[in-house]
């Protein structure tokens, strides 16, 4: 049995908004099973033991949060026994909180038992179908054979689309720490460093600033290959560094450019065009503006660039998930509809804007920025290092 822990009295999200979204989707009960949505609904909890893996013994870690529409007093969380340590330090808000499961079926069975015992309606069940293992999914559907089980992705995405001040604070910390890490790494590496060495140095810099390093998409010279490798960053070569580092789960995702030596006029011109497109895309961002205005502004400037045939603009949401709402395009690398292109932006939404020039002779040149929608415009997180950052400057000072 779990040690008794007094539940927190504060629900960390807008319950009325969630009830409305569930009602519109025909859902009586919501079952969240992804680590990011469980973290959101619990107000920040994420099992540290399973942060990098899910496999455990003969099964896997599966967090399950149950939320009944209009009845937060019936909410419950079911997790792994190792989560009790965190629960004792920071109790969850859910009236029922059991952390004594060992695998996916075991956890789902406990959730099913709770739903039945609490008398929660189950005509419409919202579940995270992309984050629900087959065995746990079968246990759920077998328990409620007459219920309609629908994907809860849209409902939960809408909830996360408007960030709280506390969420924005974490995104700001993550974004600024990524930029600072990039600047430090660029300054410390002269000609002869490999892409793998730069990536490892970036991991250390981000970690030392309190981030969890996630990835680094990196190019050097005229190559368009973005994987870390033994390729040497030579004298005169440019480098693109696109990294994601998260702070308590919230992702700072930015891209900056560096060079060994000095950029020539053409390189200055290329990065100048990219900067102009970036600035144009952020100019219309404000609460009440239609989402489509972001693309319209960017593409108007992009069309005038002499490098437009090799340049691409992309805008997407950021938060606990990369490429979450707002959805601004239906032609991006992540297939979804352009739901928010036809609706006004709301304060608290976060938009990543990125412009990429993949030039066959000069290489990969890109900027990526994070813009937060406000009532009067937008705040940019991680504003620095937008030009050509000279490599190896630390060794010359």
Mean residue pLDDT of the chain comes to: 96
Asked which of 116, 133, 161 is the last residue of a domain, the reply is 161
Q: Among candidates 129, 149, 136, which has minimal Cα distance to 110?
A: 136
In a domain, 8, yes or no: no
What confidence tens digit (pLDDT) does each residue in 54-87 have? 999 999 999 999 999 999 999 999 999 999 999 9
pLDDT band (50, 70, 90) for residue 1: very low
In a domain, 151, yes or no: yes
Same domain membership, residue 45 and residue 64: yes
Count of domains observed in the chain: 2
Asked which of 161, 181, 214 is the last residue of a domain, the reply is 161
In a domain, 126, yes or no: yes
Answer whether residue 348 shows pLDDT above 90. Answer: yes
In a domain, 5, yes or no: no
In a domain, 4, yes or no: no
Same domain membership, residue 350 and residue 291: yes
Domain hosting 391: range is: 165-396
- CATH number of the CATH domain containing 259: 3.90.230.10
Q: In sequence order, what E strands does the chain have?
A: 29-32, 55-56, 59-60, 64-68, 71-80, 96-101, 124-127, 148-151, 193-194, 212-220, 232-233, 238-247, 250-259, 311-317, 350-359, 363-373, 378-381, 388-390
Query: What DSSP string describes 214-239?
Result: EEEEEEETT----S--S-EE-TT-EE
Mean pLDDT within 362-372: 98
Same domain membership, residue 220 and residue 113: no
In a domain, 10, yes or no: no
What confidence tens digit (pLDDT) does each residue in 99-114 have? 999 999 999 999 999 9
Same domain membership, residue 297 and residue 273: yes
In a domain, 374, yes or no: yes
In a domain, 52, yes or no: yes
pLDDT of residue 396: 67
Structure tokens given for 336:
């979804």
Answer whether residue 352 shows pLDDT above 60. Answer: yes
Answer whether residue 189 shows pLDDT above 80. Answer: yes
Same domain membership, residue 140 and residue 278: no
Same domain membership, residue 316 and residue 190: yes
What confidence tens digit (pLDDT) does each residue in 199-239 have? 999 999 999 999 999 999 999 999 999 999 999 999 999 99
Answer whether residue 3 shows pLDDT above 60. Answer: no
pLDDT band (50, 70, 90) for residue 164: very high
Q: Among candidates 361, 248, 345, 228, which has minimal Cα distance to 297?
A: 345
What confidence tens digit (pLDDT) does each residue in 228-285 have? 999 999 999 999 999 999 999 999 999 999 999 999 999 999 999 999 999 999 999 9
Same domain membership, residue 176 and residue 36: no
Same domain membership, residue 29 and residue 110: yes
């Amino acid at each position: 049995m779990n040690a008794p822990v007094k539940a927190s009295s504060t629900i960390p999200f807008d319950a009325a908004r969630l009830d409305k979204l569930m009602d519109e989707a025909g859902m009586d009960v919501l079952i969240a099973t992804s680590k990011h949505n469980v973290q959101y609904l619990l107000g920040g909890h994420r099992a540290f033991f399973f942060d990098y893996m899910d496999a455990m013994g003969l099964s896997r870690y599966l967090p399950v949060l149950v939320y009944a529409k209009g009845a937060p007093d019936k909410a419950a969380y079911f997790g792994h026994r190792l989560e009790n340590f965190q629960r004792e330090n920071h109790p969850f808000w859910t009236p029922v909180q059991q952390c004594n499961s060992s695998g996916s079926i075991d956890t789902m069975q406990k959730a099913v038992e709770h739903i039945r015992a609490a008398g929660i309606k189950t005509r419409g069940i919202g579940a995270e179908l992309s984050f629900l293992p087959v065995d746990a999914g079968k246990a759920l559907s077998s328990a409620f054979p007459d219920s309609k089980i629908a994907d809860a992705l849209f409902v939960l995405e809408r909830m996360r689309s408007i960030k709280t001040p506390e969420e924005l604070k974490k995104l700001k910390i993550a974004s600024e720490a990524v930029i600072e890490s990039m600047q430090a790494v660029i300054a410390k590496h002269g000609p002869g460093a490999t892409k793998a060495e730069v990536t490892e140095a970036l991991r250390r810099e981000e970690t030392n600033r309190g981030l969890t390093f996630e990835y680094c998409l990196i190019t050097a010279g005229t190559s368009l290959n973005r994987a870390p490798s033994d390729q040497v960053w030579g004298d005169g070569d440019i480098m693109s560094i696109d990294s994601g580092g998260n702070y308590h789960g919230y992702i700072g995702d930015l891209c900056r450019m560096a060079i060994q030596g000095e950029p020539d006029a053409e390189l200055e011109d290329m990065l100048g065009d990219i900067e102009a497109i970036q600035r144009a895309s952020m100019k219309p961002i404000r609460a009440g503006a239609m989402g489509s205005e972001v693309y319209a502004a960017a593409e108007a400037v992009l069309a005038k660039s002499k490098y437009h045939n090799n340049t691409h603009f992309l805008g997407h949401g950021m938060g606990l998930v990369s490429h979450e709402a707002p959805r601004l395009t239906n032609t991006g690398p992540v297939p979804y509809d352009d739901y928010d292109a036809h609706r006004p932006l709301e304060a608290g939404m976060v938009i990543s804007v990125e412009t990429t020039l993949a030039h066959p002779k000069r290489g990969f040149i890109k900027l990526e920025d994070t813009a937060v929608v406000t009532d009067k415009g937008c705040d940019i997180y991680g504003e620095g290092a937008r030009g050509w950052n000279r490599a190896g400057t630390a060794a010359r000072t």
